[in-house]
Amino acid sequence: MEKQQLEELLKDMSLQEKVDQMLQITGRFYQMDINSVLTGPALQMGLIESDINMAGSILGTYGAKELKQIQKTYMEQHPHHIPMLFMMDIIHGMKTIFPMPLAMGASFEPELVRRCAQASAKEAAYSGLHVTFSPMVDLVRDARWGRVMESTGEDPYLNSRMAEAQVRGFQGESMSEEGRVCACVKHFAGYGAAVAGREYSAAELSERTLRQYYFPAYKAGIDAGAGMVMTAFNTIDNIPATANRWLMRDILRGEMGFGGVLISDFSAILETVVHGYAEDKKDAAKKAVEAGVDIDMMTGCYSENLAELVEQGIVPESLVDECVWRILDLKNKLGLFDNPYKDADEAKAEEVILCREHRALAREAAGKSCVLLKNENILPLNKEKKIAFIGPYTYCKKIISNWSVAGESKDCVSVKEAADEIFDSIHTSYHAGSQMTGRKVRFEGFSAFGKAAEPDDEEWGEEKERKELEEAVRAAKEAEIVVLSVGESYLHSGEACSRAFLDIPEVQMNLFRRIAEVNPNIVVVLFNGRPLDIREISAKSKALLVAWMPGTEGGHGIVDVLTGKVNPSGKLPMSFPYCVGQCPVFYNELSTGRPYREGDTNRYFSKYLDIPNKPLYPFGYGLSYSEFEISPVKLNKNSFCEGDVITASVTVKNTGEFPGTEVIQLYVQDVAASVARPVKELKGFEKVTLRESEEAVVSFRIDETMLSFIRADGTVGCEPGLFRIWVGNSSETSNMAEFWLTK
């Protein structure tokens, strides 16, 4: 539809029609009997039947046949036959589930992330969907927050590269293309900085911190063309983000130039009342629309009050028109006015969902996202040795995270299933050894799941618990190597899953300790949705492989790494704390005036009395089966001026016995500036694959934009002076050189 036609359509719509375009409800409103809806959820939200019939979008429902029918009925009864938008959380896959986003961050491979998003978009589009509530690009530094699993990590640069890759994967060159969906960058802004890691809590961030560290990834997603942005639940400067005019109009619309649709998170407009910022639903609607929020997700704030606010002269109708224009424009960009069903196609959905190509990609992603933290010459596994696969995750297929809305565990490949394909049964045995969380542990609020995620979804009695443990210990005693698959339950991480303790369930730790008593040759495969406190496991195991929540092909990806078919190359996108008392812990911190250095005995330094300052495993860290030698940094000159560039190079050599891939990372420090700068910041990375004894030169071009920051006067730019750069394979590399930036 041409712009002029859209303008005429908007002009011809009634005020209530426009307001209803700004309402989003769940698909159940169209799946239930209308009388049940009107006396149940609609009544609670203050909606009437006409609101439901005219709502501009729905979320949480998928399936080509069903959505085509909803669209047909909706358009037939709509006065202007405007198509409806269908949205859903496709966080790391539709039906083919890829490793969770934090795991994908560990790949340090934006192109892989783009390919996975593209596959997800294809499955979603053929299932009738138009918009995915992804990517989540919130910067995360506190592992207590459950939603760290949905981010790609603690670093602004890495998050930015992954954000733009996901947007391009979902949307392609144009979201109207077949097999593409609209991306939604979320949550704007600062949601990952929840105080104390507690879900929905305030974010106490200075404007400088917001701009320097948290805003870049949102901006990268917007610059990549994201058609939608979602508001955050938290407050910024004590004002709820969803009604924060400075945040949404000045920053998002003004400075970042976002012209797409702004949608609230689930009930976030109404929650401004609970925040104590809005007096009631009417006031909440007024403040949200003034902030420029286009769509009210799952409250009746807009539908009940906006028309009246306009008629009373409290809210100008131009604000409503502005919002509805963006909604209509998005529908037009998706091509819905020409084809309201877009790509919804039962046959094509069946063809692509869980297809061989997508499963192969999921397997590749699972292998590349695994991070090897420790290996005392026990991996890769020798298949001729007697190996006992032990632990609840040996059998468990619930490895897709609790934020995989459409994914099903039945489609997943477990560690046992993958191992069975290549290990000789004569040398191999399998044992659960324990439950996932223990007989008395139940998860509150997970009505869809009922109880803890256990290996076979069955209740274990005391006798079964004792017998399984004894069999596992006996098998470990007889084995040469134990592969112990343990970790937190998939229900432990995700939204509303904040944790004060980052330990593995005690029932599994008891299994680990009993195994360690009879066999020191333990390879731990860790399943986790966040960094955990793994001090004891790290100390007592011979090898430690972080598998995260690896997705549909997780078992295959893990076994590929364990056997050496895939040489691990993953790097931590988020630091693993020594213990929870360090949280939040991150590599790019400020120095302080009294930085602690290893070996200092003076009491008056910035340090803990009882634990180290450094995390157990830092950002950017990860081992390979190969050994890589990285030469000292070579600069092509020792100084350069603004507008020029300087090149930093290293020679990387594979000195190991296997072909392998290393992630070479560039870090920069501005030694003295008008404001204190971090001890180092990631500014580039490159993956290099080398055969045994092969070497290659890896170079980074450094220009003034990489040295820029928000200066004391609020302007963005660089300042002359001394800079240090590091090039290595983790944030703790000491391979450093210095140069001067001159005027």
* ∠ CA 74-75-76, rounded to 5°: 95
Given 20, 51, 138, 265, which residue is catalytic? 265
Determine contact, residues 735/633, Cβ cutoff 8 Å.
Answer: yes
Instruction: Give the chain's largest Cα–Cα span.
Output: 81
157/573 Cα distance (integer angstroms): 11
**DSSP assignment letter at 412:** P
Q: Let me know how many helices (H) and strands (E) the chain has, helices first.
A: 24, 27
Q: Residue 628 corresponds to which tokens in the numbers above?
A: 């890589």
Rounded Cα–Cα distance for residues 572 and 283 (Å): 45
Q: Check if the beta carbon of residue 285 is closer than 8 Å to that of residue 250.
A: no
Distances (CA, A) of 330 to 20, 57, 84, 188, 272: 16, 12, 11, 19, 27
Residue by residue, what is the 3-state secondary structure of 250-267?
HHHHHHCCCCCEEECCCC
* Secondary structure of 428-483 as H, E, C letters: EEEECCCCCCCCCCCCCCCCCCCCCCCCCCCCCCHHHHHHHHHHHHHHHHHCCEEE
Burial of 156 (0-12, 13-18, 19+ CB in 10 A): buried
Give first-to-last CA distance, the chain, whole Å. 52
Q: Which of 294, 352, 355 is nearest to 327 (CA)?
A: 294
Query: What DSSP string runs through 586-607?
Result: -SS-B--SSB--TT---S-SB-
Integer Cα distance of 120 and 113 in angstroms = 11
Q: Report how far residue 378's alpha carbon sits from residue 131's, in angstroms, rounded to the nearest whole number.
A: 46
- In angstroms, the CA 344 to CA 334 distance is 13
Residue 457 is among the residues annotated as catalytic for this protein: no
Of 302, 317, 337, which is closest to residue 6 (Cα–Cα)?
337
Enzyme catalytic residues: 265
